[in-house]
Structure 1
């Protein structure tokens, strides 16, 4: 091997190593941005409720409502999880289990708790692992959480009795969590699901956000971040698919999505709806942005949800 070729190969090797180190560093940075627990700069963390908010009364009600603290242990990693439970004004065996969104917690779901309380249901609002009062160092995007919600559901049945009737509801990441739960074997007490603006898979959502928010293409960054997540948390982003889970569901599901959603793009709801095997309905809220269908059209949202619940709760 002549010296020129040798130097060229050494230079190439150094270049490849530098590139790999750079990709790895970028992967770690975006893992911390997207997965690791912590405040997210692009998430509105304000707790102020303005009187101009169309859901002001529901949010204020939840702030003041007497909440009972329930506790659970995560299905993996032995984490301590916490939830808030608010019984209905009139005793009932019907409970809505509410899953919150990315960067949120049960405290951010007051408008939905208020809605279901107005309709006469008990509400249970868990904090996912890595959120609110629950333990955990990472956001599961619904995948490990689906198994935690099965434990919450069993706790509802244990506390409220075998005659319990349960519907799971969630928005955004909570919508995806709801769909991920639907693909598991659930107790007979689970009657139906309502998902609002959930994504097809973690991989699809992070790929979309990488381009939408940072103008970064899918390769090689998203697979690298997925690999880091696999090493840290035991699953890949493609494995964590709401699309594959709803294809195993045979219970009723209501799909809701805003037509102006650019965070979880509206186009994601169509393959999810087609894949679902149970009785189903798709409601598109014209002009609603991400997770804003209820505030954008409160009357429509309430009537659609009420009709669905009236149909599938005995």
Structure 2
């Protein structure tokens, strides 16, 4: 009987060690900033090479931009590109890039808002670009960073400044997660393009797609590793729960050919908020490719939404 007990303990111990190894492997694979082979050469839809040459030239011109920094609540030095409007309008757009992208990949999106008369702030998320950090927060710790960026803009441009938030992919999840926080009245609208419902749902989906593995128990173990190494649980990072607290008008954009962040997530997100809302399904658009499908329609849709909801 003792042998059976010892064998049982040994099997359990080996299973725990194996899961711990697998959890750390998946943490390094998904959460540690590094080149990601599953992105096929760049963050979908936010690669610098995809920006229009004219937008890229304007965005890169040092005469058009300033570099801003701040220190996060947990002591990281974070960086952002600030592009003032040509004339003072009292409006600022804060733009969030995608997974393993950075501020420099967002020329096309920054130009949309600049052409509409906005100051534009494009932060590097923690662990990306010029910002410090050794992990990816998938929007959850970043939501607090965005509250600080919002307050920095108000301090810089005055208490009457109106602010709109825009994000694509992980950046879209970031602004949706920010939406559930106690925002200053200056924040008047939010636009998200192809964000995910939650980190558990997105990473569980990717685990199935990339490795043909079920979410349980590997996601649970990786979440524990993430809590120990990065300070948050996957289960906390939930855009649906945050949208339930949102009161700001929000515009949802998603391509119906998206298989990276499943198109089916759109309705779950849209139905999660009772705030004023609109959605646009872009036929044939893959992940984060709605702008590339029809740039003019994309600009017009954003402009129409902001005209309706982004009041001074």
TM-score by length of 1: 0.93
Correspondence list, 1:188-267, <5 A:
188-267=185-264
RMSD: 1.5
Tell me, what secondary structure is at the counterpart of 1:257? strand
> Which is worse superposed, 53-62 or 171-180?
53-62
In structure 1, the partner of 2:8 is 12
Q: Once the 2 structures are TM-superposed, how far is the Cα of residue 54 of structure 1 from its aligned partner? A: 7.5
Maintained 8 Å contact 1:285/1:297: no
Contact preservation (8 Å) 1:54, 1:295: no
Go from structure 1 to structure 2 and tell me whether the alpha carbon gap of 1:54 and 1:140 turns closer, same or farther (over 3 Å shift).
closer
CA distance in 2, matches of 1:119, 1:15: 63
For structure 1, list consecutive stretches of 5 or more residues without a partner in the other structure: none
Structure 2 distance, partners of 1:194, 1:41, is: 29
Contact 1:58–1:115 (Cα < 8 Å) also in 2: no
User: In 1, distance between residues paired with 2:179 and 2:92?
Assistant: 16
Counterparts in 2 of 1:299 and 1:54: CA distance versus 1, 3 Å: farther
8 Å CA contact 2:51, 2:107 repeated in 1: no
Please give the residue correspondences for 1:49-64 in structure 2 after superposition, counting only pairs within 5 Å: 49=49, 55-64=52-61
SS of match in other structure, 1:113 = helix
TM-fit CA distance, 1:232 = 2.0
Q: How much does 1:235 deviate?
A: 2.1
Of structures 1 and 2, the larger Rg is shown by 1
**3-state secondary structure, aligned to 2:264:** helix
Give 2:304's aligned residue.
307
Partner of 2:34: 38
Please list the CA deviations of residues 78-129 of structure 1 after superposition, one character each: whole Å capped at 9, or x if unmatched.
1111100001122221110001111111111111011111222110001111
- Asked if the contact 1:194–1:255 (Cα under 8 Å) also holds between the matched residues in 2, the reply is yes
SS of 1:250's partner is: coil
Runs of 4+ in 1 over 6 A off after TM superposition: none
Q: Does 1:23 align with 2:19?
A: yes
